[in-house]
Amino acid sequence: MAKVHIKGRILQLLERADSLWDHEIRDVILREYRLDGGPYWSGTIRMTLTDLYAGGLISHVKSQIDPNTAPGSEKLLNCYRLNAFGRTRMRQTGLSEELQ
């Protein structure tokens, strides 16, 4: 079976969870798609999350400063959840793993 495109897989991950942090999503995508953890793919995944948010499919839950970054080079972490519109669109496009 072919893998789902990355945007669809992110939606499936969010469908299974109440909410997920962007770094949690990144780690799963990098592992499942066997991508290197460099800035290109990490940035691509963050931009995909931004695109899903802008499209109204996911909601932003909260943000926090990454406690593992040094002062002066702080990184913002974002937490997302799938919203009702996103669930509906997933069912309509066949991406949903929930019972239809």
Residue 42: which CATH number? 1.10.10.10
Q: Is residue 37 part of a domain?
A: yes
The per-residue pLDDT for range 33-65, each reduced to its tens digit, is 999 988 999 999 999 999 999 999 999 999 999
Strand partners, 21: 79
Q: Is residue 98 part of a domain?
A: no
- Average of pLDDT values for 70-87? 91
Residue 44: name the closest of 97, 4, 5, 3 by CA.
5
Alpha-carbon distances of 84 from 56, 59, 70, 88, rounded to whole Å: 10, 10, 37, 6
Domain boundaries, position 76: 6-90
Q: What CA–CA distance (Å, rounded) separates 16 from 5? A: 17
- Average of pLDDT values for 72-86? 93
